[in-house]
Amino acid sequence: MWLHLRTSPIRWSLPVLLAVDLAALFLRNRSWIGVWPESGAAAQVPAYLLGVLAAGVAAWAAGAQTRHRLHEQLAVARVHPAISEAYRLGATLILLLIPYVIGQVVAFAVTARTFPPGLGLFWGYALLGLFVMVMATAFGWLCGRLLGTLFAALAASMGFLFLLTLLGRVGFVVLSGRPNTMVDPVGLVLRLGSVMLLLVALLWLPSPGRARPARRAIVLQVAAILPLAMVVVTTSPVVDRTPPGDDVTCVNGRMTLCIWPEHEKYLPKLRSLNARIGLLPASFVPPPRMNEIGIERTWHLGPDGVIHLDGDAGAPIFHILEGSPWSYAGDVSNAILASTFGFTDTQYCSWDTLTSADQERLSVLGAWLEAYLVGRSTPDYETNAPMEMQAAWARGRAIAGEQSLPEQFRWADREVGDLRGRYCKPVR
């Protein structure tokens, strides 16, 4: 085996593959550092890039014996062809997995410095990427065996890309590891099992350029590919996690903000957010509690007899996307405005009669609140909202950026009182 590892043509490609893997891991948004599932998912993403290269490289390796004209020597060897083939395929697989595994180890080491809870979720994503790499290798080897030595590598690379395109429609590509989702263990075991089956079946393919593969070998391949295709198409790689119940981390204050324990690195940011909420004028009425997505789920029985996820019931939710403070500040400011103005309160308020001028004032107020909660006035996202709405948001952010805090609060207090007084009866 060591001999095969040392003489494989793949070893020259390893530096390139490793460089691509590490670059894809670090030359991007690095919010994954410090959260286990996100780390596993971030180190899993290069598998799709490496897979494209690995398919080509595996096809090249599959044709090595034909290129070096070793047919006669191998044909008269005493060992069974499938066994010597197993060594070659095994060496190819091991070498191609090295860059990916190094990437995962680096991601592990970087997050292990803070060691947050939720390590178990990391392994699921790591194995999912491993599956992608093994599948790419198997695909490349198959191309290398069936298409001859010349065009196989190109065909394997482009073919794997094409495969990704097709499978992208069934959710094959996983990009992030939010704490509210996890890799489906059953699906993962099925995927790994079926791809191993394919690897074993590949051993009975004759080398390219000699005899055409026997019909029996082709039937064997098809029989091995079918379960893999079925599994990939029918199962989803990630599923929602069950709500954690009481095992959540919460920040108390004027409002209670609860997050998944895996997201503990965001606690300081959420504390400062909550402190800013505490400073808001008394006319703002924040909801008593907000949850990160997936912490509470309420189900209700729909009229058609199917159980639906009820998004409106329970406490309002917020997201933490790519570590951006704007992602949760936007959700929190919307929830505060909704409970302050009682948008859903049809008993005392009549927001159906909202004029467009007041709509604009609400937009200005919402943008101000969002920017105030973040503490900055230039957002990190792009939007394709209508121009007049964007202009209103820009005015709101300008207020947060330019005026002093007491001035801002006086203005906001006046706006809330004025708008509420116009559309709601003063009951509360």
Quote the CA–CA distance of 270 and 14 in Å, as a whole number: 43
DSSP 41-53: HHHHTHHHHHHHH
Nearest distance, CB of residue 175 and other proteins, angstroms: 5
- When asked if residue 154 is in the footprint of other proteins (CB under 8 A), the reply is yes
The SS3 assignment for 238 reads strand
End-to-end CA distance of the chain: 78
**Interface size with other proteins, residues (CB under 8 A):** 35
- When asked if residue 16 is in the footprint of other proteins (CB under 8 A), the reply is yes
Quote the CA–CA distance of 428 and 426 in Å, as a whole number: 6
User: H or E element: which one contains 127?
Assistant: helix 119-146
For other proteins, the binding residue among 1, 15, 28, 75 (CB under 8 A) is 28
Q: Quick one: tokens of 354?
A: 């909202």
Stretch that binds other proteins, among 86-94, 120-128, 135-143, 145-153 (CB under 8 A): 145-153
Nearest distance, CB of residue 352 and other proteins, angstroms: 34
- Asked whether the beta carbons of 206 and 67 are under 8 A apart, the reply is no
For other proteins, the binding residue among 45, 86, 232, 367 (CB under 8 A) is 45
- For the chain, the C-alpha Rg in angstroms (whole number) is 28
Q: How many CB atoms lie within 10 A of CB 96?
A: 27
- When asked if residue 150 is in the footprint of other proteins (CB under 8 A), the reply is yes
- When asked if residue 175 is in the footprint of other proteins (CB under 8 A), the reply is yes
Q: Quick one: tokens of 413?
A: 């207090």
Amino acid identity of residue 113, one-letter, is R
> Alpha helices, DSSP H only, in 178-314?
185-202, 215-234, 267-279
Nearest distance, CB of residue 29 and other proteins, angstroms: 7
Q: Which residues contact 22 (CB under 8 A, 6 or more apart)?
A: 102, 103, 106
Choice between 173 and 267, CB closer to other proteins: 173
For other proteins, the binding residue among 5, 98, 119, 161 (CB under 8 A) is 161
Q: Quick one: tokens of 397?
A: 């952010």
> Going residue by residue from 53 to 92, which x/- string records binding to other proteins, judged by CB under 8 A?
x--x---x------x-------------------------
For other proteins, the binding residue among 106, 164, 192, 231 (CB under 8 A) is 164
Q: What is the DSSP letter of 349?
A: B
Stretch that binds other proteins, among 46-54, 70-78, 200-208, 358-366 (CB under 8 A): 46-54
Stretch that binds other proteins, among 20-28, 106-114, 250-258, 335-343 (CB under 8 A): 20-28
For other proteins, the binding residue among 5, 22, 49, 192 (CB under 8 A) is 49
User: H or E element: which one contains 85?
Assistant: helix 81-112
Quote the CA–CA distance of 141 and 157 in Å, as a whole number: 11
Residues within window 354-413 making contact with other proteins, judged by CB under 8 A: 382
Stretch that binds other proteins, among 43-51, 87-95, 292-300, 370-378 (CB under 8 A): 43-51
Kindly compute the dihedral angle of the four CA atoms of residues 362, 367, 372, 373, in this order, to the nearest 10 degrees.
100
Choice between 162 and 299, CB closer to other proteins: 162
Residues within window 317-346 making contact with other proteins, judged by CB under 8 A: 321-322
Q: Quick one: tokens of 374?
A: 């973040």
Nearest distance, CB of residue 419 and other proteins, angstroms: 33
- Asked whether the beta carbons of 152 and 62 are under 8 A apart, the reply is yes
> Alpha helices, DSSP H only, in 280-379?
325-341, 356-374
For other proteins, the binding residue among 1, 7, 11, 29 (CB under 8 A) is 29
Stretch that binds other proteins, among 51-59, 98-106, 337-345, 387-395 (CB under 8 A): 51-59
Binding site for other proteins (CB under 8 A): 13, 16, 20, 24, 27-29, 45, 48-49, 52-53, 56, 60, 67, 149-151, 153-155, 157-158, 161-162, 164-165, 168-169, 173, 175-176, 321-322, 382
